[in-house]
Each structure stands twice: as structure tokens, then as C-alpha cells.
């Protein structure tokens, strides 16, 4: 059975289990020709959703296997289908773990897609910035962009983003992060979300 025949749609199933299982099988067998098959079907309206799902699931498990197709995923950020946009951003977030240079060089496209995209697209773009901030040579640029994203983050996502940023910030940026949280926290209406952000704020003020 080819990888295309193993997709959920090919099996006439509406669940993702076959796609997830296929990703695991491809990783376990290092099936690069199967990955290429999936890449080649990204333009197929009937199969594209399944293909991007399998590809980013492969990325979760072994990002090196999809790294060579980074430019394909970058181009998909401009796709009119939201599912393809956030699926591509998810793949890029995994690739950033093994090839941060590519992400850094293409931040303008990544952040433009984030600004125009769905919550999942924004989440994955934020994950990319977090990965870049872990690298000393990228830290200053990445932190500056993270702070910008925090300032315009949806209130619902803000606490999670703050928690992520707290794991990578450097002492020199503590005051900036404190000011950003203080500015945004007053906008958060949901008490549980506000408490999450305030918890980080209090840790920063110690």
C-alpha cells in the first residue's frame, strides 16, 4: 500500500488515527520517498488536508525528515485554506528546532502569516520565536519580536505566551516583560487567565 492509499480520506474515514499511524510508520522506516509523495499531493484539494497532517505529525517525531521541504511549507503560509496555513506553520515550528537559521531568515513571512492567520497559526509562529530566543545569536531579535507579539496577543492566548516567554527571557529584559504584562493584564476579563498571567508577573517581581 502506498502512503497515499493509507491516508484517512483514501480509506474513506473521517478520523485522524490513520494519518497519525502513517506518520509513525514513515518515521520508523525513514520513508523519504513516502514523504515526497505527500509533498507532491499538497496541491490535491481532496488529499491536501491529510497530507499536511501527516507531514507535521512526522515533524513532531523527527523534524529532520521534513526539513528539506521547509520552503514548501513557507510558501503554504500564503495558502487561501486556513487549514493549510496553520498546518504549514506547525511544520515550520518543528523544523525550527533543527534548522533555526531558516526560520530566522524568513521571519518576515512567518510573522506576516501570523498577523493574518488563525489562533493556531499565531501559536505556532510564537513557538518559532521561542525556539529562536533559545539561541544566543538570535536572542535579542527574537525577544524583541516576542514582546511585540505579547502586546498584540489575543487575551485568551496571552497567559500561555507569557508562560512560554518566562522560560527563555534574560535578566536584562525583565523590566520590559514586567511592563508588558502589567499593560495587558488589565484587559483580561477571564479570572483564570488573569491569574495565570499574574502568577508570572509576581515571579518576575521577586
Domain region containing 85: 1-133
**CA 132 to chain CA mean position, Å:** 12
- Cell digits of residue 57: 505529525
Q: Which residues of the chain have pLDDT under 70?
A: none
- pLDDT score recorded for residue 206: 87
**Same domain as 182, residue 100:** no
Number of domains in the chain: 2
- pLDDT score recorded for residue 173: 98
Domain boundary among 133, 164, 193: 133
- pLDDT score recorded for residue 36: 98
CB contact at 8 A, 12 and 44: no
**Same domain as 146, residue 126:** no
State the Cα–Cα distance between residues 104 and 187, nearest whole angstrom.
31
Global pTM reads: 0.95
**Same domain as 47, residue 31:** yes
Amino acid at each position: 500500500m502506498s502512503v497515499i492509499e493509507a491516508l484517512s480520506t483514501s480509506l474513506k474515514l473521517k478520523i485522524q488515527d490513520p494519518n497519525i499511524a502513517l506518520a509513525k510508520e514513515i518515521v520508523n522506516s525513514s520513508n523519504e520517498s513516502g514523504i515526497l509523495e505527500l509533498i507532491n499531493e499538497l496541491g490535491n484539494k481532496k488529499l491536501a488536508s491529510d497530507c499536511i497532517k501527516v507531514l507535521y505529525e512526522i515533524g513532531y517525531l523527527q523534524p529532520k525528515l521534513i526539513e528539506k521541504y521547509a520552503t514548501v511549507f513557507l510558501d503554504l503560509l500564503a495558502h487561501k485554506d486556513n487549514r493549510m496555513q496553520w498546518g504549514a506553520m506547525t511544520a515550520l515550528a518543528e523544523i525550527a528546532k533543527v534548522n533555526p537559521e531558516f526560520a530566522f531568515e524568513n521571519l518576515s513571512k512567518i510573522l506576516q502569516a501570523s498577523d493574518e492567520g488563525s489562533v493556531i497559526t499565531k501559536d505556532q509562529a510564537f513557538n518559532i520565536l521561542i525556539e529562536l530566543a533559545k539561541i544566543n545569536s538570535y536572542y535579542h531579535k527574537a525577544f524583541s519580536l516576542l514582546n511585540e507579539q505579547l502586546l498584540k496577543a489575543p487575551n485568551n492566548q496571552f497567559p500561555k505566551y507569557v508562560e512560554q516567554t518566562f522560560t527563555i527571557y534574560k535578566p536584562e529584559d525583565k523590566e520590559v516583560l514586567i511592563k508588558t504584562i502589567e499593560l495587558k493584564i488589565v484587559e483580561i476579563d477571564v479570572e483564570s487567565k488573569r491569574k495565570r498571567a499574574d502568577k508570572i508577573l509576581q515571579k518576575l517581581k521577586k
